[in-house]
């Protein structure tokens, strides 16, 4: 995992913790305490957390795609054939 992905996960967890603490704190006195007002007043923290998680998934997929392309472009080494190497060593001595 890259540093960016780790930071995104920590940010998402932090925003979720802030959201929970903010939900427990209640509403200001100027806002009428209905169910929807409670949800939408604290909604931004939850959306920041969701945004961090979505961007984490996006950056992870980009990183995995780059690694896959590097694997494809890497030259493949031939498998070593020990018997063939022994035959070549023996024939070199006979010349």
* Alpha helix segments (H runs only) across 1-95: 3-25, 35-41, 43-73, 82-94
Domain ranges of the chain: 3-76
- The per-residue pLDDT for 13 is 96
Give the global pTM: 0.66
- 32-89 pLDDT per residue, tens: 778 777 777 888 899 999 999 999 999 999 999 999 998 888 776 666 667 777 777 7
- The per-residue pLDDT for 26 is 77
Cα angle, residue 71 at apex, residues 65 and 73 outer, rounded to 5°? 105
């Amino acid at each position: 995992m890259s540093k960016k992905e780790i930071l995104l996960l920590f940010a998402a967890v932090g925003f979720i913790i802030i959201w929970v603490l903010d939900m427990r704190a209640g509403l200001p006195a100027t806002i009428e305490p209905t169910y929807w007002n409670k949800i939408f007043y604290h909604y931004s923290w939850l959306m920041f957390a969701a945004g961090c998680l979505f961007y984490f998934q996006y950056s992870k997929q980009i990183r995995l795609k780059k690694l896959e392309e590097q694997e494809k472009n890497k030259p493949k080494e031939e498998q070593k054939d020990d018997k063939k190497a022994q035959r070549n060593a023996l024939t070199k001595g006979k010349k």
